[in-house]
């Protein structure tokens, strides 16, 4: 079996935003995220979890500040900061996202004008892929087969999250990023959904990066939890650092 | 790659169009309500002008160009005139003094002779509507001629009758006369010619002139001297092909020192009505166009603002903003197509009412409001094109949509 390859390689990442008197800085001194790893970003609101996810999902407006390299197991390594200097290259990040990254939002982030089936098929069609056995497999595992022809507004919150998970996995990406994927669910439902999510991610050997306020649940499901700390805080500046524990 | 993206965006845009059918119906109705009055106005303009023009064209006198006074025109000059662009019919006339004869109906006991004006006719003559087949038959057996409605009334004659054609000349102070039976091929309607006249093939006309000039006409056994000089003509009958051909022909004749009279004054009245209606149409149509473009532009801008969340989710999935521009533009084009069809249906339902209201009073039974299928196609194409341009301009907002917007709003 091949050893897992490094997907994200981050060194001395620093992203600052805010005004002169209320500046916030996100720091990631050194971090590597490998294939198949399950990584959790936890911490209080405003600690920079979402900002960090934006950087990892290549959608941050401060990509040119990111000291980050990206690889998906082939020989090519992308230097994100140098690509982001040219704004015209931002559609390139879209192309990387559509192929290698799946995303799950807090309330699903599904398109209301499409049926469940069309929502799940969306990444396949965008990548020019055909629906295969895996589509049926994840629908069966996530128990959404009977909902395939329904519109999104006919689904419960839990069902929506399961559809969102199916959509993030269907094109078999290398990374799945989830921003509070179970925050809108009750505890029982949250555990069920997270269990299905984790099992499918492990099955695919995909790197699963989740931002959550619930550190204990993340640990319980076997996530490596990044340590978050405010290393310097004064009236004008707040610095939040993420590092391995 | 971009084609696959665009194809997918069109599919998504169409799905959204169906999903939002109630909101879309409102936009379609707005466009239809804007387009229908413009179509009615254009159809009215077209219908009225067409009816007035047709009424003018139905009167051959309108297309006539009449030389004033007499001159001398050679065969070559007349042939040259025949070849001019815009000439529908031309035929040489003989001297006025020779262009007179008598007709009498032998079937009448007390039938007076009727003095008639002699005029040439031929194939394509708009006054006699003479066709080639009829023209050839006129020369077989008894000589065929057309007589005017006025002459026919006085002679109590109709098509198919045979009349006596008499011409006279003075010899040493004494009158001499020859007669010829002529067959009435047709009667010229009063609208086409009001005076007592006989329209005949040029052969008979020239024979009449020769007889009066004491030149022998062997065909009819009329005595005289042999013909020596080449024939010249004192005038001609000329008809333009269309109303628009009259002015250039008149101008050309003036360059040839031929003074003519035309019915241009009557035509100019219609042209002036057309010009004023055109101006009115372009003002109202232009305002509707600007209004339509603004409506589509504002609707598209509003639609992009309303769909910002969905569009940013599509950006998050990996769609480029270049492809996503197609999302609102496709919807605007679909709405404009549906709006054009709806506008046309509104027009079609209004057309009979407008015709019932105006046709009888204004146009003596003519159609006041008429739209050709091609006009409807043009109206639809212009609507779609303007919508496309306006929507494309408004869709620049898509460029500023970031995937982050979708995540934060979720």
pLDDT above 70: residue A88: no
d(CA A200, CA A135): 12
User: Could you tell me which of A208, A174, A173 has the C-alpha nearest to residue A194?
Assistant: A208
Residue in B403, B406, B408, B409 to test binding to A, most A beta-carbons within 10 Å: B403
d(CA B387, CA B398): 17
pLDDT at position B346, please?
A: 94
pLDDT at position A1, please?
A: 52
B90 DSSP assignment:
E
pLDDT category at B301 given cuts 50, 70, 90 is: confident
d(CA A37, CA A205): 8
Phi, psi of B318 (to 5 degrees): 120, 5
Residue B406 to residue A105, Cβ atoms within 8 A: yes
d(CA A177, CA A211): 8
pLDDT above 90: residue A111: yes
pLDDT at position B354, please?
A: 85
Calculate how close chain A gets to B54, using CA atoms only, in Å. 55
pLDDT category at B115 given cuts 50, 70, 90 is: very high
Q: Using one digit for the tens of pLDDT, what is the confidence trace for B10-48?
A: 999 999 999 988 888 998 999 899 889 988 988 888 888
The 3 state secondary structure assigned to chain A is CCCCCEEEEEEEEEEEECCCCCEEEEEEEEEEEECCCEEEEECCCCCCHHHHHHHHCCCCCCHHHCCEEEECCCCCEEEHHHHHCCHHHHHHHHHHHHHHEEEEECCECCCCCCEHHHHHHHHHHHCCCCCCHHHHHHHHHCCCHHHCCCEHHHCCHHHHHHHHHHHHHCCCCCEEEEECCCCCCCHHHHHHHHHHHHHHHHHHCCEEEEEECCHHHHHHCCCEEEEEEEEEECCCEEEEEEECC
pLDDT above 80: residue B156: yes
pLDDT above 60: residue B410: no
d(CA A40, CA A52): 11
pLDDT at position B253, please?
A: 93
pLDDT above 80: residue A215: yes
pLDDT at position B360, please?
A: 66
B273 half-sphere exposure, CB direction, 13 A CA radius: 15
Q: What is the DSSP string of B297-312?
A: HHHHHHHHHHTHHHHH
Residues of chain B with C-beta less than 8 angstroms from the C-beta of A123 = 317-318
What percent of chain B clears pLDDT 70, i.e. is strictly above it? Answer: 96
Identify the residue with better confidence: B139 or A100: A100
Domains of chain A with CATH codes: 6-244 (3.40.50.300)
The stretch B203-218 carries a mean pLDDT of 89
Residue B407 to residue A50, Cβ atoms within 8 A: yes
Region of poorest pLDDT, from A7-11, B241-245, B270-274: B270-274
Residues of chain B with C-beta less than 8 angstroms from the C-beta of A114 = 12, 15
Specify the length of chain B in residues: 410
User: Could you tell me which of A232, A214, A227 has the C-alpha nearest to residue A178?
Assistant: A214
Residue B317 to residue A98, Cβ atoms within 8 A: yes
Average pLDDT score, chain B = 87
pLDDT at position B111, please?
A: 63
Sequence-distant (≥ 6) Cβ neighbours of residue B309 within 8 angstroms:
B405, B406, B409, B410
Residue A59 to residue B321, Cβ atoms within 8 A: no
A128 sits in the region (left: phi over 0; alpha: psi -120 to 50; else beta) called left
pLDDT at position A46, please?
A: 83
pLDDT at position A3, please?
A: 75
Average pLDDT score, chain A = 87
Q: Using one digit for the tens of pLDDT, what is the confidence trace for A153-193?
A: 999 988 999 999 999 999 999 999 999 888 888 888 889 88
Identify the residue with better confidence: B360 or A190: A190
pLDDT above 70: residue B99: yes
Within a 10 A sphere around the Cβ of A169, how many other Cβ atoms? 27
Region of poorest pLDDT, from B8-22, B53-67, B257-271, B331-345: B53-67
On whether any CB of chain B is under 8 Å from the CB of A87, the answer is no
d(CA A243, CA A227): 5
Q: What is the DSSP string of B103-134?
A: EE-TT-TTPPPEEEEEEEE-TT-TTTT--HHH
Q: Which residues pair with B188 in a beta bridge?
A: B148
pLDDT category at B254 given cuts 50, 70, 90 is: very high
Residue A125 to residue B11, Cβ atoms within 8 A: yes
Q: What is the largest CA-CA distance in chain A?
A: 56
Q: Sign of torsion, CA A73 A56 A97 A82? A: negative
pLDDT at position B331, please?
A: 93
Identify the residue with better confidence: B169 or B366: B169
Nearest to A94 among B12, B310, B318 (CB): B318
pLDDT above 70: residue B361: no
Residue A113 to residue B11, Cβ atoms within 8 A: no
d(CA A50, CA B44): 64
pLDDT category at A32 given cuts 50, 70, 90 is: very high
pLDDT at position B125, please?
A: 92
pLDDT category at A236 given cuts 50, 70, 90 is: confident
């Amino acid at each position: 079996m091949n050893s897992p390859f490094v997907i994200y390689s981050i060194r001395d990442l620093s992203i600052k935003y805010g005004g002169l008197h209320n500046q916030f800085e996100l720091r990631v001194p050194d971090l590597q995220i490998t294939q198949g790893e399950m990584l959790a970003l936890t911490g209080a609101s405003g600690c920079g979890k979402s900002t960090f996810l934006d950087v990892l999902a290549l959608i941050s407006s401060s990509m040119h500040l990111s000291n980050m390299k990206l690889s998906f197991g082939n020989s090519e390594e992308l230097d994100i900061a140098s690509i982001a200097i040219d704004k015209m290259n931002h559609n390139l990040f879209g192309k990387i996202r559509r192929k290698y990254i799946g995303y799950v939002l807090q309330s699903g982030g599904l398109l209301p004008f499409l049926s469940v089936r069309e929502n799940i098929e969306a990444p396949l069609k965008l990548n020019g892929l055909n629906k295969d056995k895996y589509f049926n497999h994840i629908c069966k595992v996530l128990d959404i087969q009977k909902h395939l022809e329904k519109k999104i507004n006919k689904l419960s919150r839990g069902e929506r999250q399961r559809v969102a998970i199916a959509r993030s996995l269907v094109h078999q990406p290398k990374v799945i990023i989830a921003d509070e994927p179970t925050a809108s669910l009750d505890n029982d439902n949250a555990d069920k959904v997270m269990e299905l999510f984790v099992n499918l991610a492990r099955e695919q050997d995909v790197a699963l990066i989740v931002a959550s306020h619930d550190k204990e649940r993340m640990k319980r499901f076997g996530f490596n939890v990044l340590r978050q700390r405010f290393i310097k805080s004064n009236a004008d500046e707040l610095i939040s650092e993420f590092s391995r524990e | 790659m971009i084609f696959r993206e665009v194809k997918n965006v069109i599919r998504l845009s169409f799905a959204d169009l169906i999903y939002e059918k109630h909101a879309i119906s409102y936009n379609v109705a707005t466009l239809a309500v804007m387009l229908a009055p413009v179509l009615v106005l254009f159809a009215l303009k077209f219908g009225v002008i067409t009816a007035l023009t047709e009424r003018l064209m139905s009167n051959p006198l309108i297309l006539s160009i009449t030389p004033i006074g007499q001159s001398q025109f050679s065969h070559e000059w007349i042939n040259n005139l025949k070849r001019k662009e815009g000439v529908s019919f031309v035929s040489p006339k003989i001297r006025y003094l020779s262009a007179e004869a008598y007709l009498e109906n032998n079937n009448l006991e007390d039938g007076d002779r009727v003095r008639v004006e002699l005029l040439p006719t031929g194939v394509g003559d708009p006054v006699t509507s003479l066709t080639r087949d009829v023209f050839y038959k006129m020369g077989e057996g008894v000589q065929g001629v057309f007589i005017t409605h006025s002459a026919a009334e006085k002679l109590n004659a109709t098509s198919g009758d045979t009349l006596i054609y008499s011409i006279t000349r003075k010899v040493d102070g004494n009158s001499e006369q020859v007669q010829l039976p002529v067959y009435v091929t047709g009667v010229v309607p009063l609208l086409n010619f009001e005076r007592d006249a006989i329209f005949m093939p040029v052969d008979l006309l020239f024979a009449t002139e020769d007889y009066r000039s004491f030149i022998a006409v062997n065909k009819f056994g009329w005595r005289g001297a042999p013909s020596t000089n080449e024939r010249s003509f004192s005038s001609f009958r000329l008809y333009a092909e269309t109303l628009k051909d009259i002015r250039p022909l008149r101008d050309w004749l003036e360059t040839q020192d031929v003074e003519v009279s035309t019915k241009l004054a009557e035509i100019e009245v219609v042209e002036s009505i057309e010009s004023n209606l055109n101006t009115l149409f372009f003002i109202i149509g232009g305002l509707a166009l600007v209004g339509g473009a603004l409506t589509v532009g504002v609707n598209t801008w509003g639609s992009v603002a309303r769909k910002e969340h969905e569009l940013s989710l599509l950006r998050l999935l990996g769609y480029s903003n270049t492809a996503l521009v197609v999302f609102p533009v496709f919807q605007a084009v679909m709405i404009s197509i549906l709006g054009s069809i709806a506008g046309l249906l509104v027009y079609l339902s209004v057309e009979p009412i407008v015709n019932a209201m105006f046709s009888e009073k204004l146009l003596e039974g003519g159609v006041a409001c008429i739209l050709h299928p091609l006009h409807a196609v043009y109206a639809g194409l212009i609507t779609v094109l303007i919508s496309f341009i306006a929507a494309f301009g408004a869709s620049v907002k898509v460029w500023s949509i970031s995937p982050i917007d979708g995540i934060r709003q979720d």
